[in-house]
Amino acid sequence: MKAPPFAYVRAASLDEVFRLWGEAGPEARLLAGGQTLLASLAFRLSDPGILIDITRVADLAGISQVGNAIRVGALTTHADLGASDLLRRHVPLIAETVPLIAHPAIRNRGTIGGSLAFADPAAELPACCVALDATIMARSAAGERRIPAAQFFTGLYATALAQNELIAAIELPVARPSERSTILELARRSGDYAMAGVAAHAQLDNGALGELRLVFFGVGETPVLAKGAMAAIEGKPATPETIAVAQTALDADLDPPADLHGSAEMKRHLARVLLVRALRTIAGSEEAKAA
Amino acid sequence: MSAIPDIAVSLTVNGERVSRRIEARRHLIDFLRLDLGLMGSHTGCEHGVCGACTVRVDGRIVRGCLVLAASLDGSQVETIEGVSDSGEIVDLQEAFIARNACQCGYCTSGMLMTAADLLKANPRPTREEIREHISGNYCRCTGYHAIVDAVETVAAKRNGRAGP
Amino acid sequence: MNEIIDPRSVDRPNSYIGKSIPRPNARKLVEGRGQFVDDIVMPRMVHVAFVRSPHPHAKILRIDGAEAIAMPGVVRLFTGADLAKHCEPWVAVLAHLKGMKSAPQLPLPLERATWAGEAVAAVVAETRAVAEDAVACVRIEYEPLPAAVDMETALSPGTPAIHPDLGDNLCFQRVNESGKVDEAFAAAHKVVEATFHSARHTGVTLEPRSILADYNRGSAKLTVYHATQAPHMMQGVFAKHLRMPEGDVRVICSDIGGSYGIKVHVYPDEVATAVIAKIMARPVKFIADRLESFATDIHARDHRITARMAVDAEGRITAIDIDDLTGIGPYSVYPRTSAVEGNQVVNLVGGPYDFANFRAKTTVVFQNKTPTCQYRAVGHPIATAVTEGLVDLAAEALGLDPVELRRRNLMQDGTYPRTSPAGMKFEGLSHEKSLDTLLGMIDYAGLRAEQERLRAKGVHRGIGLASFIELTNPSPFMYGIGGARISAQDGCTVRIDPDGSVMAATGVTEQGQGTEAIIRQIVAEAVGVPIGEVRVITGDTLTTPYGGGTWACRGAGIGGEAALQSGLAVKEAALKVAGAMLQAQPDALDLIDGQIVERKTGQARMPLAELARIVYFRGDTLPPDLPRELMQTRHFITKEYPFAFTNGVQACWLEVDIDTGMVNLLKHWCVEDCGRIINPLLVDEQVRGGIVQGIGGALYEHCVYSPEGQLLVGSMADYLVPMAAEMPDIEVGHVETPTRESLLGAKGAGEAGTAGAPAAVMNAINDALKPFGAKVFAQPFTPERILAALGKVPARWPVESPAGSPSAATPAPQPRAPGVQAQAAEKSPSLLARMFGRR
């Protein structure tokens, strides 16, 4: 199916984006990588009237170190995330995540800003950002504001962005030497959205896991910070006993919807399995490989 | 909707400068096929899932159905016709023929563009890496084994070794 | 007779049969220079798009196209009534399937839509995009009617009859019985039983259904560029239903992007396109989009089979008893009918085994879902999964190794010809030799040892076997005797041209399987010319002999034999001329590698090109009465057997993650016997592609419906096809038992892979799960179903839709493609209902 007719304008600067957006009205959509927007338009599920192409806005591009964080421009493609030495060195979870996202041709166009703004609950990057305690740099005509990733995802495909506000960049904290992280997902086929996944991040101190963040995806309306499971392990080593307590606590953290791949109970089960595997991986225990 | 203005684009396709006025909604594959008559790139799903429409934009493979032609002003686009004429992937093409890695041929343009992309980035891929790189390109005919063989053979030959 | 093409002779000059020779038509495809239907652009061409029903069952009250027709670029709008004036309805029944019934069908329905996605109106516009814009503006008023969705209740008193004139929703029922089944079960040492489900699949040809029809009012001729497997059949269909002389219709198949049975049927929207072209007298193109493909390409394999097997204390199968139920949608599909799949199941169950007592019942019912019909390996994967599943259950019950039970029960080599309890006539099969060959390839003992070793480490691998039979080279007993105008015979015309090159025009067709390649090999060898000198013409009703095209694996066996015979006839004709020119006896001469030679010495006497030059340009120099017929046509039809059965055996080696239910395919093997192999390269890839198509059904593919009758998988992000990363390497071996029905000895090979793969995967999963006493019999074997079998999550199947409220259903399909700012979220219980019911 072909997309419904729409107008197209290309913005050269952020000022122009906000001016065009203001003129175009609330139906207008921003076009970044277009990897979800154009597919959904091909279903004629929405009729935006006008697309504002932001891909040539220089202020939204680039990866740089800013103090204790890596600032990633919203237009950074998944491929560029994967190719970045800065990220590989300082935010290894991102490099680990990129190969899980779709397929090479899509990674060459899809952007991190687009992924976060679209807020698919099964997507990897939103979960990573929450796990890493990233900061979303939101920008509107009124200026920039910082939104912690954990507060950014407000509901199914819904974010804390205000009307006519966009993501300018994402700030990812530089990893400390004690940091351990991993992302695991269960997808029917390589590159598919996961049936269930987890991004895990902690400081490993003498075998104990501190500042633990476990973020599940594909099992709720947003990336889910598993606070109960995190509390069960926090400050402790990952042992069969602590993991069992965390698994029990996880049930209260999640309220997964059923989908084609499984019932809510199936998703809970997969989340419990992923919890064990993620904890063993970041705790570096020997069982990790066997799990 | 007649009020919606067409968009002027100028870009380079397979080394030739082209300028057209097009509907904004026209994706790259429809632009190549309907505006330029380049029929080698195919649409299989138009949802970015099947990979039949894989072409190169500014040196990187993309899903042609998920790129608006209007957004490509000034870009370099390369299609299967272009890389055939330049001889860039002649070894891959020969290997696909010899190994019968192309049956109906509908996925083949996209599959070859993706295979070429792999070998550029990773000259010595394992079979698993080949499978992973083409995992977004659907082929109903071959079952993929022959395609993996063909790509593996070309990699080996480019590295000066005999094929498997 | 067969010795002239004995593969042992392949090294003699211009011997091509049996050699792996690449396809001559592949180069244009790898350069992107093929010509698929959508690549054809004609002057004054317009595009048709269809307004489709969002309801599984609804009365069409009113169609208002005023807004649509007023849009710039829109040319015409057609309703069912508009097209019915120009088109005869069809009823898809076969007389030999006793009692079968179906309802008359038109390109667009007059009163009721009977499945979600059925075309109910057509809009013609200057571009596809504008036609779709207009489709969105056609207002149709429906009165939703109760739908018959679940096949299990299709015949229940409370379920409305979809076609009241038919009385009920029963399309066809048949019991195939022989021997004393009840006595055998009563006397059995062990009885094993299970209920098998085969999910609704569809073919997902990468090139969607495509047609470009052009009517020239001046010549009164209809030319149809059509992605079809059966151009002559479609010529007849268009002629009959558009009320035209058959000779005024020409169907041309250019390159076709995959078919697998999907493109051998009559689709209402394609007939509508031809009717519209005739009304408008200009070229009209219809290319289905992917959503339309899922909703309107034929589906298949929606079966539930309860099955049991009796064995004696010696491990011999004594009886099989199955009860098959299948839902086929609201109409039987024209002209092959939708009862054949169920009929195949009751003919094929138990096929490889030597036993006496058999009962198989199929019940084919109507329902308000997409129509089903024949799809690659029709019925075979279902019958094989049932049979091989029972065999493994019996082995377990008897404490025997699955290989051993098969050895005790497979039909023995050397005991042919024979007839199976299901009534199938087997000319010659090789089950035992095939199994031996397979076991030689897989190191069975080694795999079993590895399985044991890994089990101790908590890694669960399984090996699954599946013997199978495949029906190929069909005779008129398949369709023709039932009244369908479907050709089981086929022809080939071979012509020597003045430069000594050869043209071969064949009635069998090419969709990528390599038909042109094998016809070229056969003709080159039969005539005696270098293979590069042969050009093959296929897929044009005006220029090729009348034939059936591609179906039921007949291209090599039927089309190949016609090519061989016509090639030999041309050679004979050429040698007759050569004898006169060289003053020799024709039988003292031979034609090898494009040269007339002395048969005894091989000494070259004259190039074929010289002979042809004389015949065509200097015929005055030849004896006046000398026949000089350098073009010959031969046709072939099987005579002794209704079908040439092939056989084979597959093995699958996989690992099940018992915590996640994920299946990791490690390796797959197949040994198959398709008789004489013309081109091993092509046969192997047919087998591999077929296996992966079978694996797709076993692990991924499922046309999931809501209980209300809405298809919930409308994109390739939701209907999961097998992709490269998950598929295993596949090893293929061969046994060759040529058929004696033909000189060539070839049988079909295109469906063997699909026939056996699901059973092998199922048995391997159940083998892996053996320590847990868990088993799966419902395809696809999803992680959820495997975990349910392990008792780790609740079972949801065979409930098809996601549990819970409609809001819990699948979200609007999104490709795996994050990357857009401020994309609004939209969820829908049914994408199709939303798409087709936009207004």
Q: Quickly count: other Cβ atoms within 10 Å of residue C136's Cβ.
A: 18
- Among C55, C717, C159, C806, which Cα is nearest to C369's? C55
- pLDDT tens digits along C606-661: 999 999 999 999 999 999 999 999 999 999 999 999 999 999 999 999 999 999 99
The pLDDT confidence band at residue C819, using thresholds 50, 70 and 90, is very low
Q: Residue C136: what residue type?
A: A
Interface test with C, best of B29, B35, B47, B153 (most C CBs within 10 A): B47
* Partner residues linked to A237 by β-bridges: A208
Is B161 an interface residue toward C (CB < 8 Å)?
no
Taking chain C, what is the end-to-end CA distance rounded to the nearest angstrom? 67
Q: Is B111 inside any structural domain? A: yes
Predicted pLDDT at A284: 83
Name the domain boundary from B83, B112, B131: B83
pLDDT reading at B155 higher than 60: yes
Q: Which residues of C touch A266 (CB under 8 A)?
A: 783-784, 787, 793
Is C126 an interface residue toward A (CB < 8 Å)?
no
CB contact residues (below 8 A), chain C span 49-78, against chain B: 71-72
Tokens of C190: 């062990």
- Cis? peptide before C335, omega within 30° of 0: yes
**Residue pointed to by tokens 């996209």:** B110
Instruction: Judge if B34 and B96 occupy the same domain.
Output: no
3-state secondary structure of C366: coil
Q: Is B50 inside any structural domain? A: yes
Which residues of C136-169 form beta strands (DSSP E)? 139-144
With contact defined as beta carbons under 8 Å apart, do B153 and B162 qualify?
Answer: no
Predicted pLDDT at C14: 72
Question: What pTM does this model have?
Answer: 0.96
Instruction: Judge if B119 and B137 occupy the same domain.
Output: yes
Interface test with B, best of C19, C23, C31, C720 (most B CBs within 10 A): C31
Q: Is B73 inside any structural domain? A: yes
Predicted pLDDT at C812: 39
Instruction: Judge if B126 and B149 occupy the same domain.
Output: yes
Total domains in chain B come to: 2
Average pLDDT over residues C690-705: 98
Say how far apart CA A148 and CA A133 lie, in whole Å. 7
Please tell me whether the interface predicted TM-score (ipTM) of this complex is above 0.95.
yes
Distances (CA, A) of C81 to C77, C744, C837: 11, 51, 21
Could you write out the three-class secondary structure of B100-143?
Answer: CCCCCCCCHHHHHHHHHHHHHHCCCCCHHHHHHHCCCCCCCCCC
Instruction: Judge if B57 and B109 occupy the same domain.
Output: no
Q: Which of C689, C716, C721 sits opposite B142 (nearest CB)?
A: C689
Size of interface A-C (CB pairs under 8 A): 197
Instruction: Judge if B113 and B146 occupy the same domain.
Output: yes
Instruction: Judge if B130 and B145 occupy the same domain.
Output: yes
Q: Which residues of B touch C753 (CB under 8 A)?
A: 143
Average pLDDT over residues C31-54: 98
**Residue pointed to by tokens 């409220």:** C805
Name the domain boundary from B83, B108, B135: B83
pLDDT reading at C273 higher than 90: yes
Q: Which residues of B touch A1 (CB under 8 A)?
A: 46
Residues 6+ apart with CB under 8 A from C390: C192, C193, C194, C307, C308, C309, C320
Predicted pLDDT at C13: 64
Q: Is B163 inside any structural domain? A: no
With contact defined as beta carbons under 8 Å apart, do B42 and A24 qualify?
Answer: no
**How many angstroms from the chain centroid is the CA of residue C277?**
29
Predicted pLDDT at A290: 41
pLDDT higher for C817 or C112? C112
Question: E strand or H helix at B86, and its extent?
Answer: helix B80-86
Residues 6+ apart with CB under 8 A from A76: A61, A62, A63, A84, A111, A112, A113
Q: Quickly count: other Cβ atoms within 10 Å of residue A177's Cβ.
A: 6
Average pLDDT over residues A254-258: 96
Predicted pLDDT at A285: 60
Average pLDDT over residues C811-838: 41
Instruction: Judge if B17 and B56 occupy the same domain.
Output: yes
Q: Is B1 inside any structural domain? A: no
CB contact residues (below 8 A), chain B span 82-111, against chain A: none
Is B21 an interface residue toward C (CB < 8 Å)?
no
Instruction: Judge if B75 and B138 occupy the same domain.
Output: no
- Sort strands C663-673 and C730-734 into parallel, antiparallel or unpaired: parallel
Is B21 an interface residue toward A (CB < 8 Å)?
no
- Cis? peptide before C623, omega within 30° of 0: no
Instruction: Judge if B74 and B105 occupy the same domain.
Output: no
Say how far apart CA C370 and CA C269 lie, in whole Å. 13
Q: Is B101 inside any structural domain? A: yes
- pLDDT tens digits along C71-82: 999 999 999 999
CATH of the domain at B147: 1.10.150.120
Say how far apart CA A232 and CA A250 lie, in whole Å. 9
Q: Is B164 inside any structural domain? A: no
- pLDDT tens digits along A156-206: 999 999 999 999 999 999 999 999 999 999 999 999 999 999 999 999 999
Residues 6+ apart with CB under 8 A from C583: none
- Among C641, C505, C541, which Cα is nearest to C246's? C541
Q: Which residues of B touch A98 (CB under 8 A)?
A: none
* Strand ranges across the sheet with C534-537: C534-537, C502-506, C490-496, C631-636
- Cis? peptide before C417, omega within 30° of 0: yes
DSSP character at residue C353: B
Q: Is B43 inside any structural domain? A: yes
pLDDT reading at B163 higher than 80: no
pLDDT reading at B77 higher than 90: yes
Exposed, middle or buried: residue C218 (CB in 10 Å: 0-12, 13-18, 19+)?
Answer: exposed
- Sort strands C201-202 and C299-300 into parallel, antiparallel or unpaired: antiparallel
The pLDDT confidence band at residue C820, using thresholds 50, 70 and 90, is very low
- pLDDT tens digits along C507-525: 999 999 999 999 999 999 9
Residue B123: give the domain boundaries: 89-158
Average pLDDT over residues C47-62: 98
DSSP character at residue B145: H
Interface test with C, best of B22, B63, B144 (most C CBs within 10 A): B144
Kindly determine whether residue A103 and residue B66, on different chains, have CB atoms separated by under 8 Å. no
Instruction: Judge if B57 and B99 occupy the same domain.
Output: no
With contact defined as beta carbons under 8 Å apart, do C775 and C392 qualify?
Answer: no
Query: Percent of chain C scored above 70 by pLDDT?
Result: 93
Could you write out the three-class secondary structure of A183-210?
Answer: EEEECCCCCCCCCEEEEEEEEEECCEEE
Average pLDDT over residues C142-165: 97
- pLDDT tens digits along C440-473: 999 999 999 999 999 999 999 999 999 999 999 9
Instruction: Judge if B116 and B65 occupy the same domain.
Output: no
Kindly determine whether residue A104 and residue B114, on different chains, have CB atoms separated by under 8 Å. yes
The pLDDT confidence band at residue A287, using thresholds 50, 70 and 90, is very low
Q: Residue B29: what residue type?
A: I
CATH of the domain at B37: 3.10.20.30
Predicted pLDDT at C835: 55
Kindly determine whether residue A55 and residue B71, on different chains, have CB atoms separated by under 8 Å. yes
Distances (CA, A) of B151 to C22, C24, C130, C569: 17, 20, 41, 43
The pLDDT confidence band at residue A46, using thresholds 50, 70 and 90, is confident
Name the domain boundary from B31, B66, B83: B83
- pLDDT tens digits along C423-441: 999 999 999 999 999 999 9
Q: What integer best gives the mean pLDDT of chain C? A: 94
- pLDDT tens digits along C628-637: 999 999 999 9
Instruction: Judge if B125 and B154 occupy the same domain.
Output: yes
- pLDDT tens digits along C337-374: 999 999 999 999 999 999 999 999 999 999 999 999 99
